[in-house]
Structure 1
Amino acid sequence: MAFTTRSCLCGAMVGHSGLRQWQKQGKELCDRRWWAWQLHVCLQRFEMPLRGLPSKNPPQLPALSQSHRRPRAHNPLGCWCYLAVCGLQMPLVIREFAMAMLWKFMRVARYSKTALPPKVRGIPVHSRHFSSSKSVPSDFAASTTCLNTVELLGKSYPQDDYSNVTEKILSKVGKNLHNKKHHPLWLIKEQVKDHFYKQYTGRRGTPLFSVYDGLSPVVTVQQNFDSLLIPQNHASRKKEDNYYLNRDHMLRAHTSAHQWDLIHSGLDAFLAVGDVYRRDTIDNTHYPVFHQMEGVRLFSCHELFSNIKDGESFQLFEQGHRTAHKQECHTMEAVRLVEFNLKQVLTKLMTHIFGDAGAQDKIGWAFGLGLERLAMILYDIPDIRLFWSEDERFLKQFIVPHICQKIKFQPLSRYPPLINDISFWLPSETYSKNDFYELARTIGGDLIEKVVLLDEFTHPKTKKVSHCYRIVYRHPERTLTQNEVHRIHQAIEESAVRELGVEGRF
C-alpha cells in the first residue's frame, strides 16, 4: 500500500503496555488503514493529507481491557501519535520506545529516511525529555527533542544557531539545592534570611525584606542583559560565557536578571536567591551551576535623608557629570549615604554569619560571589563539586537542630588523582577555551576535577597555535581506574576533533 511506511510510523506510537495487552489477547496489531487514518489526522496539521483516506468515521479500534482504558483526551493511540509528530510534550519512556520501534520497522522494511514525508523526516530517532523535578535515565544518546526543541520546566523552546546548552547542564535545572532542607547551601540561605528578618523590620515589626527563592532560571535575553543596561556588544553576552536555549531565551547568568521585574512589581527591599549558569574554567572552586543571593534596597528622598540635619535641603538626583565616584544623575550626598548603608548591611550580615567562626578577614569577596563561596569558607568544604553529592557521608554532616550551629566538615577519603594531557592545533581565531572546557565537562562530568591550560605554542613558520591541557581526573566519592579514565580521555580527544575542528597531537 502507498502508506505502508506512514502506517509503521503510527504503529510505533502505541504504548508498551498496550502492545503487551494486544499480544496477550492475540489481536491484530497493525490495522494499516486505521493507523494511516490516525497519521492522516496528524499530517493535516502540516497540510499533508493522504489521498484515499476517510476524514470521518475511522475504522474501529481493537478493544482494550478496562485497565488500559483512558479518557478520549488522553487516548495514547490518538494523542501520543499527534504529540510525537507535532513535537509537543509526551512521556519520555513512550516517546523513546516509539522512536525505537519506528527505527526498527524502517530497518526491517528497508525504508530510508527519504521515504518519509518531508515534515516527518526531521523527527529524530531518539530524543530526550527534560523535567523540572527529576531526570529520567535513558539508554538512548542525548539529542534534541522532536523537531529541534528543548523541553524544560514544562515549556518547549525551539533551538537555533545560538543554542548551546547541554544535557548535563539541563539535568541540573530544578535541583534547587538552596531549597533542600539541611543542605549546606540551604543553611547559608536560612542564616541570611534570619538575619534580615530580625535586623530590618517595618513600623509594625514585620520583615522589611521579602525573599524570592523559587524564580525560574529560564529568562529572556532582555531580562538577563537589556534590563540591566548591558550594551549589545558587551563581552558578557558571548555564547562562550553563557548557556543559551535560543536567541531569545537562556539560563540566567545572575539573579540580577529578576531585578527589573521585582522592582516594577512595587518592591523596594528584597532578596533574590537562585541557581545561575555560566560557562567557566574547571577547578575545585568553579562549576557551571552555582547559587547566588543578592539584596536590593531602594530609598525615597525622605527615607535616605530623614536622620540628617537639614535633610530636606538634599536631593537624590541632579543634572551633573559622571565621575569616578558617582553617575551623572545622582547627587554626591545621596551616593555617599547609600554606600554607607550598603557597607553597614554587609558588615552586620558577615558578622552574623562569620563572627563566631574567626573568619572576619574573608568576608569581602565571599558574599559577592555566591552561596557556595560562603559555605566553602564557613564549613571548610574543599571542592565545589561536593555540593552536588548525594553521598550520605556528606549530607548527614549538615543535619543540625539549629541553622547557626557550628559545623566542621569532615573530608571524605581523599582518592588519588589520575592525570592525562591533551594537545592539539587550534582551528582558527574563533576557538574559545570555554568551548573545550564545556566539551570536557560534558563527557567527563564530575569525574574531572580540574582542567588547566599547560602550554601555548605558536609554530614559527606556519603560525599555527597549539594548546596543551592537563586534565586531572578524581572522583570525590570513589577511586577511578586507569581503564575508566582512558575511555573518557579518548572520547574527549575524538569529540574535540569532531566538534571543535582541532587537529590532534595525541
Structure 2
Amino acid sequence: MKSIIKNIANSNTHTTILNKHYPKSSITNVTPNIIKHIGLNLHNNKNSPIYTIRQLIEDTFDASSYRKFDKYNNFGPIVTVKKNFDDLGFPKDHVGRSKTDTYYINDELLLRTHTSAHEVECFKNLSKSKDHNNKSISSLVNGHGYLISADVYRRDEIDKTHYPVFHQMEGTKTWNRFTHNEVIESEVNKMDQLMKKNFPSLTVEDVDYIKDDATHQNSKQDYMTDLETELVVKHMKKSLELVVATLLKHRYDHDASKDKNFKNPDIKMRWIEAYFPWTRPSFELEIYYNNEWLEVLGCGVTKNSVFTNADMASESQVGWAFGIGIDRLAMLLYNIKDIRLLWSQDNRFTSQFEGKEGTIFEFKPFSTYGITSRDISFFLTKELNPNDVMEIVRDEAQSWCYSCTLVDEFFNKKMNKKSQTYRISYQNLERNITTAEINEINDKVVDRLIKEFEIQPRN
C-alpha cells in the first residue's frame, strides 16, 4: 500500500519517461499517450517504411559525395528549451514556444519540435573533423555534411495526415570559403551525369528567385560572392533533385516489375520561392505526382549566423541545408492513406513491410471499420485553443480518434460568451467500436474540458 501511495505522489510531482523521473512545473503538458511513443524510433525499425525512406535518402547523398555524410539517428527526444528555441534564434513571443504547440516536460525541458534542436552540436562536430584522405586538413576543405533523422513532437490538429509524433530528416553540406570552386563543380558534374543516365525523362522547372535587392528575404547573403551563391545553390538543387528522383524511381521500378505493361512516367519537378529562418535564399521542391503538384521538402543556403552560433569562424564557411518530413514521403510513395497506420501493430499492416527494407511498393489497403462521429458544443468562460481540445481528445481516444474539427463558432450577445462546436470522429483500425465505448470517451472529453477549462456544455 505504501508503494502505491508513493507512486501516486510521484506521478503528481514528476513525469516518468523511459524510467527516468522529471520534476513537473506549471508548464508541464506532456501526456501519457505521447510518452508511450518515446523510444519506438520507427526511423530505426527495419520493418517500417520510415526506415526505408531514411536509408534510401542517406545512400543517395553518399553516392555522389566526396565524403560520406555523418549520420545521427539516435539522438534522444528530450532537449532543453535553449537547444530547441534559444540557440536557433526563436523570438521569445514565437508561437512555436507556446504550450498550445509544444510538449513541455518542465520549464527547462521539452520534447523536441524539430531535428534542428541538434543542429548546433552537429555543426560543431563538422568544424572539428579532418579530411578522411588527408588528416592534415579540415574536412570542410573538400566539403562535409551531416544528416539527422529523428522523431519530433508537436501538438497539432487531428486528421488522417497529422499525428503528434512524426519523423524529420535534415542535413547540410558545408565547405570552407576560399575552397577551390572546382571541388563543388566536380560534384555538380558527377550528379549531372547520374541524372542524365538514370533519369533521362526528368524535367525541372527552375526560376531564378535570388533577388538583387538586399532587403528581400530571398536575396543572397552579403558576405557571399555571386559565384559562391550560384555554386552552392546549384549543388543543393542537384543533390535534392537526385534524392527525390531516386525515391520515385524505386517506386516506379517496383511497379514495372509487377506489371510488364507498366511504363515509368516522366518525372516532373519544380522549384518555388520559400522562406526559412536559418537559410537565405530559400526554396521548396515540388513534384508532379498522381496528377497534382506536391511540396516534398524545404531548403536554402545556410545563414552565416548558424555557423557563428556553432562557434565557427564568421563568414568562413558556405553551405546549404534542407529539411524533409519522412512520414509524408512514406505515405506518398507507399500510398498509405491514414498516418495512424505507420504506428499500427496490426499484422495486416506490419506483415507487408517485414523483410522488405530498401523497397518501395504499393501498400495493399485492408478493410477498415466504420467511422462514427459525435458533436460536443459548449460556451467558453476562459481562453481555449483548438489544440487544447484536440490534445484532450487525443489523450482520451488515443489511436481511435480519426479526426477532430472545429465545425462551428459564434458569439452569443445575450450571454456575452463565445460558443464552439467540435465534431469528433472515431475509428478503430482493428475492430468496430461500440456505441457505449464512444459515449464513454466523449463523456471523459467533456468532463476534462469542464475541469481544465471551465466550459459550459450546451444541449
TM exceeding 0.5: yes
Task: Answer yes or no: is 1:241 the counterpart of 2:106.
Answer: no
> Following TM superposition, by how much is the alpha carbon of 1:462 offset from its aligned partner in structure 2, in angstroms?
3.6
Are 1:125 and 2:35 an aligned pair? no
1:465/1:369 CA distance change after superposition, 3 Å: farther
Counterparts in 2 of 1:228 and 1:421: CA distance versus 1, 3 Å: same
Q: SS where residue 66 of structure 2 aligns?
A: coil
Question: TM-score, length-normalised on structure 1?
Answer: 0.66
**What is the CA–CA distance in structure 2 between the aligned matches of 1:242 and 1:499, rounded to whole Å?**
18
1:336 aligns with 2:230: yes
> What's the counterpart of residue 335 of structure 2?
380
Residue 503 of structure 1 deviates from its aligned partner by 1.1
- The 3 A distance-change label for structure 1 pair 381 and 303 is farther
Q: Which residue of 2 aligns with 1:453?
A: 406
Q: Which stretch shifts more, 273-282 or 477-486?
A: 477-486
1:279 maps to amino acid: R
Unaligned runs of 5+ in 2: 128-143, 186-212, 253-264, 268-286, 298-322
1:334, 1:432 → 2: CA distance?
45
Aligned equivalent of 2:375:
421
* Secondary structure class of the residue paired with 2:8: coil
1:361: which partner in 2? Answer: 288
What is the letter of the counterpart of residue 441 of structure 1?
R
Matched, 1:251 2:127: no
Alignment match of 1:371 (pick from 300, 323, 326): 326
Residues 304 and 334 of structure 1 are in contact (CA less than 8 Å); yes or no, is this contact kept in structure 2? Answer: no
Q: What residue number does 1:323 align with?
A: 216
Give the number of equivalent residue pairs.
354
Among candidates 99, 116, 124, match of residue 4 of structure 2: 99
* Equivalent position to 2:83, from 217, 220, 223: 223
- The answer to whether 1:169 aligns with 2:122 is no
Query: Residues 257 and 458 from structure 1, CA distance in 2 versus in 1: closer, same or farther, beyond 3 angstroms?
Result: same
Q: Which has the higher strand share?
A: 2
Of 418, 426, 431 in structure 2, the residue corresponding to residue 478 of structure 1 is 431
Correspondence 1:289 to 2:219:
no
In 2, Cα distance between equivalents of 1:179 and 1:255: 15
Distance 1:337 1:499, change over 3 A: same
- Cα separation, 2, equivalents of 1:501 and 1:278: 25
CA distance in structure 2 between the partners assigned to 1:488 and 1:287 by the alignment: 19
Partner of 1:192: 57
Distance between the aligned counterparts of 2:123 and 2:93, measured in 1? 26
In 2, distance between residues paired with 1:211 and 1:449?
Answer: 35
- Give the letter aligned to residue 323 of structure 1: H
Q: Does 1:433 align with 2:327?
A: no
**1:177 CA drift (Å):** 1.0
User: Which structure's residues are more often helix, by fraction?
Assistant: 1
> What SS class does the counterpart of residue 244 from structure 1 fall into?
coil
Aligned-partner SS, 2:160 = coil
Instruction: Tell me the amino acid that sits aligned with residue 349 of structure 1.
Output: V
Task: Name the SS of the counterpart of 1:297 in structure 2.
Answer: strand
Deviation per residue, 1:371-407 (Å, 9 max, x gap): 110010110001000111011110111134561x342
Does the 8 Å contact 1:412/1:477 carry over to 2? no
Would the aligned equivalents of 1:398 and 1:407 in 2 still touch at CA under 8 Å? no
In our comparison, the structure showing a higher alpha carbon Rg is 1
Deviation string, structure 1 residues 26-55 (Cα, Å, up to 9, x no partner):
xxxxxxxxxxxxxxxxxxxxxxxxxxxxxx
In 1, the alpha carbon distance for the partners of 2:28 and 2:170 equals: 28
Segments of 5+ residues of structure 1 without an aligned counterpart are: 1-11, 14-97, 101-122, 128-142, 310-319
Q: Tell me the C-alpha RMSD between the 2 structures.
A: 2.3
Over 3 Å counting, the alpha-carbon distance change for 1:282 and 1:489 in structure 2 is same
Q: 2:153 aligns with which of 260, 264, 277?
A: 277
- C-alpha displacement of 1:369: 4.6
CA shift in 2, pair 1:286/1:459, >3 Å: same
Task: Sort the Cα spacing of 1:401 and 1:377 in 2 relative to 1 into closer, same or farther, 3 A.
Answer: closer
1:415 & 1:238 partners in 2: Cα distance?
36
- The answer to whether the aligner puts 1:409 opposite 2:363 as a matched pair is yes
Gap change, CA 1:501 and 1:124, over 3 Å in 2: farther
Would you say the 8 A contact 1:321–1:329 is kept in 2? no
Q: Look up the match of 1:149.
A: 14
Aligned residue identity for 2:342: F
Match of 1:158 in 2: 23
Paired AA for residue 414 in structure 1? T
Is the 2:46–2:357 contact (alpha carbons within 8 Å) kept by the matching residues of 1?
Answer: no
* CA-to-aligned-CA distance 1:435-475 (integer Å, 9 cap, x gap): 11001100111111000111111113343111111111111
Deviation at residue 483 of structure 1 after TM alignment = 1.2
Match of 1:468 among 413, 418, 421: 421
- Cα distance in 2 for partners of 1:385, 1:304 equals 48
Q: Which amino acid aligns with 2:86?
A: D
* Residues 51, 357 of structure 2: 8 Å contact kept: no
Going from structure 1 to structure 2, the CA distance change for 1:392 and 1:201 (only over 3 Å counts) comes to farther
Cα distance in 2 for partners of 1:373, 1:411 equals 17
- Mapped pair 1:298 → 2:174: yes
Measure the CA separation in 1 of the matches of 2:328 and 2:59.
19
- Paired with 2:157 and 2:178, the residues of 1 have a C-alpha distance of 46
- State the distance in 2 between where 1:156 and 1:327 align: 45
Q: Equivalents in 2 of 1:214, 1:189: separation in Å?
A: 13
Amino acid at match of 2:85: F
- Cα offset for 1:225? 0.9
| 1:504 counterpart residue number | 457
* Distance verdict in 2 for CA 1:169–1:406, change over 3 Å: closer
Cα distance in structure 1, aligned partners of 2:184 and 2:215 = 25
Superposed, 1:12-161 pairs within 5 Å as 98-99=3-4, 125=8, 143-144=11-12, 148-161=13-26
Residues 205-261 of structure 1, C-alpha deviation per residue, up to 9 Å, x if partnerless? xx2x01111001001111101111111121211111000111111000000110001
Deviation at 1:502, TM superposition (A): 1.1
Aligned position for 2:92 = 232
Report 1 or 2 for greater relative contact order, CA contacts < 8 Å, sequence distance ≥ 6: 2
Secondary structure, aligned partner of 1:496: helix
